[in-house]
Amino acid sequence: MAEFDAAARRGLLQLSRAVLEACVHDDFGVPIPDGPPFSLCRGAFVTLRCGAELRGCIGHITADRPLGEVVCRMTVSAALEDPRFAPVAAEDVAQLRIEISVLSEPRPFPERDPVGIQPGDHGVMVRRGWRHGLLLPQVATEQDWSAAELLAGVCRKAGLDADAWRDPETELYVFQVEAFGE
């Protein structure tokens, strides 16, 4: 999935960086440029890292909003609202690196056969009742997981049993991302 050229990627990363630097000073008025790629409706995740360590990661799955808006909102959320971390302080911003993962539309995966999932290429999402979880393709690569381990991991993230993906009552989706970072 390669939709964005170098200039589009650079523009999205510059927008995210400007929002990150502004939001730690309670400034939420960064303007979003017009036109593509900012106006394309896409889901996306923004991941913040300090060195190799995760510092925040929040996303919007559905392609129902312009990408510029999604990147702005997810940058603020990753910096200030990820419940796993304290809000980013102004003095920490320079040390953070941004990665943006633009999602394809998740598609149902009724086969329930791990052979059809390519770790590192496919992200997975599960939903059962009010529980849901999502793992980006990068997680399988970082953890050196097989497809079955990726499926078990996303189920655990959703608060389900590791093998809940096998149950027809559990909705299973796959998607791809175009990931790029600083």
DSSP letter string, 19-37: HHHHHTTT---PPPPSSTT
Average pLDDT rounded to a whole number, residues 121-136:
96
Q: Whole-angstrom Cα distance, residue 110 to residue 66?
A: 29
Task: Map out the domains of the chain with their CATH numbers.
Answer: 6-103 (3.30.700.20), 107-176 (3.30.1490.150)
First to last CA, the chain: 19
Which pLDDT does position 1 carry in this prediction?
61
Q: Pick from 106, 122, 105, 98: which is nearest to 180 by CA? A: 98
Residue 121: pLDDT over 80 = yes
State pLDDT tens for residues 81-118: 999 999 999 999 999 999 999 999 999 998 888 999 99
Which pLDDT does position 48 carry in this prediction?
98
State pLDDT tens for residues 163-182: 999 999 999 999 999 999 99
Average pLDDT rounded to a whole number, residues 158-164:
96
∠ CA 154-155-161, nearest 5°, is 155
Q: Pick from 69, 49, 44, 47: which is nearest to 59 by CA? A: 44
Q: Whole-angstrom Cα distance, residue 126 to residue 131?
A: 8
State pLDDT tens for residues 25-84: 999 889 999 999 999 999 999 999 999 999 999 999 999 999 999 999 999 999 999 999
